[in-house]
Amino acid sequence: MSNTPQLTDCEASVAKINTKLFTSNRVDLYDNYTCSVHTSIEDLSEFWDLLSNGEVLMESKYLRVLEQYPIEDLIYRYGIIHREDSPVGIIYWQIKRFDLHKSLDIHTHSKHILSRLWVQTKKAASRLIKDNLLVVGNVSLTGDFGFRFCPTVSSADQNKILNLACLTLIKDEKKQGVKIKTIMVKDFEIERDDSRFANTEYTPYSADPTMLLKVRPHWLTFDDYLADHKSKARVRARRAKKLGQDLVCKEFSLEEIIQYNPTIYALYKKIASYSSFNLFTLHEEYFVELKKALGEQFKMYGVFLDGEFVAFYSTIVNHDTMHGHFLGYDQSVNAKYQLYLNILYWLVELAIEAKASSLELSRTALEIKSSVGAIPIDLAVYVRARNNTLNSLMKRVVPLFIPENHWKERSPFKS
């Protein structure tokens, strides 16, 4: 999760920017708040980047990559919120053609007839759930990257503005022939934001947590990290390192990302296909263009075995948080060389070297990530169907389709 410094003197800073380019077509929301909707980040970048406050995953240079090399079946929209004549907020929307049956892997290993019948029932029901889904945030990232406001806008006002701005966008899209029936706002830490959208039509749902390693201040080297392990966990880590000693890891330049991109993309797609719930597939040029746009803020590492390219992993540093971005690996060499576990250890080393306060490892492979010290952070998404009857039913129906993930947390650290 991002740990962002507060933006001070927000409205005074915004007042210095020429905002004429995005003051037209404003729609009244309530009181003195208005909203303008835009189809491209290009003309908004100066103001947008001021409000995103250095968060690379919300800055225009990152969003421009997604817009120019889009995820399949995804439409991008941008909202500017004004108070009177002063811009005070930004909203990032993605409109996704949502087919639950294609996104959800419903299966069971049980041979019990009732379990198999229940799975078949859910599969049949999932085929009926097709809709244009309005997402506030980014379906390809874990975290709350959907909106930012000046600190002078209260939380209560933000919630109301957000809902009304979504309805404004839905009306605009309907005129273009795109009908949207459901809104999803993602992802919020439950402990920190448990009152968000309280007493509204939105219902919170929680699926898998994100995994976060908190980097301790006294970890100056990987050995310092290992010193805090229980003896059994330390032996396991050293064994994994020994098994992976034939793996050669190197940071890729832009030219090398271009060179290896077909294999990089194939490895990414293979790993993504194993997810029980997947809303997106990245554009095949995503990694190349991301490196061009972000430079040193985005790093990719290639892993080789006997000269053969077998894995990659990537990072993005966002303030004092290092994000483990996308990765891919050849599963046929994983067990023998502890490939995936070694990738996690390499990510820990990178976070320590970068003096990051935390390493965000996202929502997959929870148990093995806990074994390197990551802890689960429960996240909520807020969902609302515009039809009141359907919205009431969703509170009971949606949890039936959230995949169960039974796992055991395995902290390596001493008490």
pLDDT band at 279 (very low <50, low <70, confident <90, very high): confident
Look at 95-109, 170-184, 241-255 and tell me which has the smallest mean pLDDT.
95-109
- Between residues 236 and 388, the one the model is more confident about: 236
The CATH fold of domain 211-377: Aminopeptidase (3.40.630)
Residue 143 backbone zone (phi > 0: left; psi -120 to 50: alpha; other: beta): left
Domain extents for the chain?
10-207+379-401, 211-377
DSSP 143: S
Residues facing residue 383 across a β-bridge: 184, 203
Q: Average pLDDT over the chain, rounded to whole?
A: 87
Q: Which two tokens stand for residue 285?
A: 């040029």
**Tens-digit pLDDT profile for residues 222-278:** 999 999 999 999 999 999 999 999 999 999 999 999 999 999 999 999 998 876 556
pLDDT band at 126 (very low <50, low <70, confident <90, very high): very low
- CA neighbours closer than 13 Å in the CB half-sphere of residue 136: 31
Q: Which two tokens stand for residue 300?
A: 């990719």
- Between residues 358 and 22, the one the model is more confident about: 358
Give the E-state strand segments of 306-366 in sequence order.
Answer: 308-318, 321-329, 358-360
Residues facing residue 36 across a β-bridge: 80
d(Cα 268, Cα 337) in Å, to the nearest integer?
19
Q: How many residues does the chain have?
A: 415
**Tens-digit pLDDT profile for residues 66-86:** 999 999 889 999 999 999 888
Name the strand (E) or helix (H) holding 18: none
The CATH code of domain 10-207+379-401 reads: 3.40.630
Q: Which two tokens stand for residue 162?
A: 């957000």
Are domains 10-207+379-401 and 211-377 of this chain identical in fold? yes
Backbone angles phi, psi at 285, to 5 degrees: -100, 10
